[in-house]
Structure 1
Amino acid sequence: MADVVVVGSGVAGLRCALALADAGLRVTVLEAGEHAGGRAASWQDETTGMQVDAGPHVITSEHRNFLAMLRRLDTARQVQWQRRPIITLQDGKGMLRMHTLPLPSPLHGLPMLPNALRRLSVGDLWSHRRIAWQAARLNERSLRELDVEDANAHLREMGVRPAAIEWFWRSAVLALLNVPLEQCSAASMMRVFRLMLGRSGWHFGFPKLALAQLYVPGACRAVLRSGGQVLFGARVRQLRIGEGGIEGLEMEDGLSIGTRRCVLALPPQEVAKLAGGHAALQQLGTTAGYFRPAPYISTYLWYDRPVTHERFWARAWSPQGLNTDFHDLSKIRPALAGRNSVIACNAIGPMARADWPDGRIVEHTMGEVAEFAPMARQARVVHARVHRIPMAIPQMRPGMEALRPPPATAVQGLWLAGDWLDTALPCSMESAARSGAMAAEALLAAQGRPVSVSLPAPDTRGFVRWAMAR
């Protein structure tokens, strides 16, 4: 019998399994699919032989727990950091390169003002003064009090002008939280805004390898070295719970796995299915069932020539738009340097046109690439691939922040991990990594072995920290 069973091999599950293996426990990881990685998985494209991701993912310098995992696995150097520009933004009027400076927050954002004034009036920018002051003074308790409102209503209540809402906030919330402004929790929006306002020096990074190569092989090797195992095609049908807590798992293939310690590192919908049949987990099953998935569509285009000098750019929201962010992998992965462009794009949340056939998605995506990179009009797409992913992250609608559960459950020996847990972070790879570390901490503490694995959510600095202290 394994010391611990971890169900799910995404970022959360493997971060938890890695921490437990490092603590000397024999861990069995159960993965229902054919490969590890969950929503951050990678596999080989059968036509080109290239390793592609479920969708291109962005890492930030504030991904403390995810980066700590990469440092433990000696892959942190495989991240391509982009400090200048912080982002290149395309909207209906052209292209804007957004820069920051290493100044105390929020002064780090001053270089963005000239570009913002090319799209908004001084009055539009000044209308942010109340919400910026509010964000500067928020703590976790006061932030959660905003969870009853939707983001659009809160912005208007705080006096932010409609032009600023349409140009900045609608695009930012969709790109970062995967939900329309009117359907987003004001608390979730302000959590992100507070981080952007109060942290100078943050910037984006991109995997130089296929994303899963950063963490899947190393984490699996650590599990195996500790005497554990990673099993694929292992789908759990139900939990076996007795009076003393978790006793085992019943599998879809009819097998039974005994365990007194189990971590469910699964999306909320899967947790709801497993928890629904047990009285002790009824509340958890109901809570998990409230979380709705935000779908996304990832499109890869292989061109017959280089079409842009840009590594990464974003497209502002528009009613006719499809994709929100674009990555030229030939400018990111060293193995593709100097070769023809491979553009990976994401359509997320309501922009993921589930009713569109692949051909229409590819055609529309080619048009959006050509709008940004005119050289693409003379190029030929030699191969295209469309990935449809049911859930990028859970939709953080009003009321959802209050429902995010802790790692511990009402059943002895059963813990949770996943980006949707109460991590004090937006749902993301970083939230997943922190939740996995928190679950490992809780499990080891229950054994009388308190350890510190997780890193806290980033604090604020500069003027924002001063404002909080007042």
Structure 2
Amino acid sequence: MTTADRELDVLVVGAGLAGLRCARALVDAGREVEVWEAADEVGGRIRTDRVDGFLLDRGFQLLNPAYPAVRRWVDVDALGMQPFGAGVVARTGDGGDDLAVLGHPLRDPRRLPGTLRQVAPRPREAAALARWLAPLLRAPSGRGLAAHLERDTDPPWRTALDTAGADGVLRRVAERFLTGTLLEDDGSTADGYVQLLVRTFLAGVPGLPTDGMQALPRQLADSLGARVRLGSPAESLTTGGSGVLVAGPAGTVRAVHVVVATAAPEAERLTGCPAPAMKGVVTEWFATRQPPGRLGRYLHVDARPVAAGPLVNVAVVSASAPSYAPTGRHLVAASALMGPGRPAPGSAELRHHAGDLLGCVTSSWETVGRHEVPHALPAQPAPLVTRRPQRVADRVLVAGDHRDTGSIQGALVSGERAARAVLRSGAPAVAVR
């Protein structure tokens, strides 16, 4: 067996949310930990580019402070959160300006009259959506919620809507909003998972940190200091003997435990743990000097019977998060699905559909960035499974949202679970040499 240049107690491969949370939990328990990250920055899929004074997250993302793991392990106040409007604006094709504004009645009471005007004429549609959400409405609060929704008969969410008899405008608004949240238009995600998301949306208002989404993983990494080594990919992993050999550009280390907290395809390469199907998104970022639309703080979706373009949503990001654009400029994020057999739409197509949804002229818009993210979210098929196995060998574990739920919540919880598994093992710790 190849000899090691150094010995470690625990090596965490990957400095995304799961890896950082895992490392922090182990350090808090007194273990010696090192984190290897292949990229030049922490964050994994959560990265923020700075371009000409604009902040561009790699793929449109939002942070919901209502996630239990975020409340527990993140200093949300230090992030300087900038909330979006608590609702959605949908172009419905119903005539007139055909814009339906559906707001959270408790978190955005100013929109309550407009929301009632949309819902009151459609009592049958509203009742069907209530039937769809019945498992959630009957669910216990706290930790029992996920177990309540993990049903053997859990169908895909679109099938559950059909069973509830949901149709019409309100269903289309819900479907198009969820299409952008789940990055799918086939309705295949487990209904139990969708209801978990709905509970989170009801509990909090998503927003963006002042310094961009990457401020979240940077905060987690700051407390780890020099334990995080950037530009340090794991090239191979070999189990056996008294530890796990991991080879990298700077040499080979032997670790008592290794936690692979990379993206799912890379975790499969290193460990053989099968990666789930992954869903992709393309986000184009447009800059303009004219305020786009009159309801910029809300996410906009296309809820017409036949969507007029490829976008799953469009947002005037700077209307909610002024730090994302320089003074006198506005920033628009337009997102569409991409993946195998679905090439990413071009800039002109995205721009045209964005202007249609916002109700504004786009001839002066300039592209300031474009991100194509083929592995943005892991698939979460029915039935709902919130805890997938993490141990792949005696001393090797895998962490990430693909081992839990495909979300910031899932990534953080997965990292914590991996750390607890290491601590339960009883294997002796070694000093870093």
Inter-partner Cα distance in structure 2 for 1:353 and 1:116:
37
Higher RCO, 1 or 2 (CA under 8 Å, sep at least 6)? 2
Q: Structure 1's 222 and 117: CA in aligned 2 closer, same or farther, altered over 3 A?
A: closer
How big is the shift at 1:344? 1.8
Q: Distance in 2 between matches of 1:325 and 1:115?
A: 23
Counterpart CA distance in 1 for 2:217 and 2:400 is 16
Does the Cα contact within 8 Å between 2:125 and 2:170 map onto a contact in 1? no
Matched, 1:440 2:423: no
**Alpha-carbon separation, structure 1, partners of 2:364 and 2:289:** 6
Q: In the TM superposition, what is the alpha-carbon distance from 1:320 to its structure 2 partner?
A: 4.0
- Offset of residue 184 of structure 1: 2.3
User: Which residue of the partner structure matches residue 248 of structure 1?
Assistant: 245
Equivalent of 1:5, from 11, 20, 24? Answer: 11
Q: Does 1:367 align with 2:367?
A: no
2:235 corresponds in structure 1 to: 237
Q: Name which of structure 1's ranges 261-270 and 175-184 shifts more when overlaid on structure 2.
A: 175-184
Per the alignment, in what secondary structure is the counterpart of residue 15 of structure 2?
Answer: coil
CA RMSD of aligned residues (A): 3.3
Q: Which amino acid aligns with 1:248?
A: L
Cα distance in structure 2, aligned partners of 1:410 and 1:362: 42
| Unaligned ranges ≥5, structure 2 | 1-6, 140-144, 429-433
Cα distance in 2 for partners of 1:67, 1:339 equals 34
1:237–1:181: structure 2 CA closer, same or farther, 3 Å change rule? Answer: same
SS, match of residue 364 in structure 1: helix
Q: Is the 8 A contact 2:177 2:313 kept in 1?
A: no
In the alignment, is the contact (CA less than 8 A) between 1:136 and 1:194 conserved in 2? no
Once the two structures are superposed, what CA deviation does each residue of 1:174-198 show, in whole Å capped at 9, x if it has no partner? 12222234422233233334555xx
**Alpha-carbon distance between aligned partners in 1 of 2:39 and 2:79, rounded to the nearest angstrom:** 29
Question: Could you tell me how far apart the structure 1 residues matched to 2:165 and 2:236 are?
Answer: 49
- Residue 404 (structure 1) shift: 4.6
SS of residue paired to 1:387: strand
Alignment CA distance shift 1:183-1:330 (3 Å): closer
Contact 1:173 1:181 in 2 (8 A): no
Matching of residues 338-353 of structure 1 within 5 Å: 338-348=327-337
Residue 254 and residue 320 in structure 1: after superposition, are their counterparts in 2 closer, same or farther (change >3 A)? farther
Partner of 1:380, secondary structure, is coil
SS in structure 1 of the partner of residue 311 of structure 2: coil
Distance 2:222 2:127 in 1: 53
Give the corresponding residue for 1:270. 266
Question: What residue number does 1:460 align with?
Answer: none
**Percent of counterpart pairs with the same letter?**
18
Q: Where does residue 204 of structure 2 map in the other structure?
A: 202
CA distance in 1, matches of 2:251, 2:427: 31
Letter in 2 for 1:210: G
* Runs (5+) with no aligned partner, structure 1: 277-284, 450-470
Structure 2 counterparts to residues 161-172 of structure 1, below 5 A: 161-163=166-168, 166-172=171-177
Spell out the pairing of 1:323-338 with structure 2 (5 A cutoff): 323-331=311-319, 332-334=321-323, 336=325, 338=327
CA deviations 1:434-464 (Å, max 9, x no partner) are 2222322332344599xxxxxxxxxxxxxxx
Query: Which of 381, 399, 416 is 2:398 aligned to?
Result: 416
TM-aligned CA deviation for residue 114 of structure 1: 1.9
Q: By how many angstroms is 1:365 displaced? A: 2.2
- In structure 2, the CA distance between the partners of 1:389 and 1:345, relative to structure 1 (3 Å rule), is same
Matching residue's letter, 1:162: D
Aligned twin of 1:30: 36
8 A contact 2:21–2:416 mirrored in 1: yes
Give the Cα separation in 1 of the matches to 2:17 and 2:365: 33
Give the paired residue count.
408
Equivalent residue runs for 1:64-463 within 5 Å: 64-71=68-75, 76-82=78-84, 84-93=85-94, 94-102=98-106, 114-117=116-119, 121-138=122-139, 139-146=145-152, 149-157=155-163, 159-163=164-168, 166-195=171-200, 199=202, 201-216=203-218, 218-224=219-225, 228-232=227-231, 234-242=232-240, 246-251=243-248, 253=249, 255-276=251-272, 285=273, 288-289=274-275, 291-308=276-293, 310-316=296-302, 318-331=306-319, 332-334=321-323, 336=325, 338-348=327-337, 354-356=342-344, 361-377=346-362, 380-399=364-383, 401-402=384-385, 404-407=387-390, 409-422=391-404, 426-447=405-426
Would you tell me which structure has more helix in proportion to its own residues? 1
Contact 2:389 2:403 in 1 (8 A): yes
Q: Say whether the 8 Å CA contact 2:16–2:217 is kept in structure 1.
A: no
Q: State the secondary structure of the residue aligned to 1:62.
A: coil
Give the letter for the 1:117 counterpart. V
For the 8 Å contact 1:37–1:212, the answer to whether it is kept is yes
Give the Cα separation in 2 of the matches to 1:150 and 1:85: 26
Q: Is the 8 A contact 1:63 1:430 kept in 2?
A: yes
* 28-37 or 334-343, which deviates more: 334-343
Instruction: Please say if residues 26 and 223 of structure 1, whose CA atoms lie closer than 8 Å, have aligned partners that are also in contact.
Output: no
Q: 1:53 aligns with which of 52, 57, 60?
A: 57
Aligned AA (2:297): R
Q: When the two structures are superposed, what TM-score results if normalisation uses the length of structure 2?
A: 0.81
- Given residue 37 of structure 2, which amino acid in structure 1 is its aligned partner? E
Question: What letter matches 2:40 in structure 1?
Answer: E
The amino acid across from 2:178 in the alignment is V
Decide whether the 8 Å contact of 1:404 with 1:420 is kept in 2: no
In 1, the alpha carbon distance for the partners of 2:134 and 2:42 equals 43
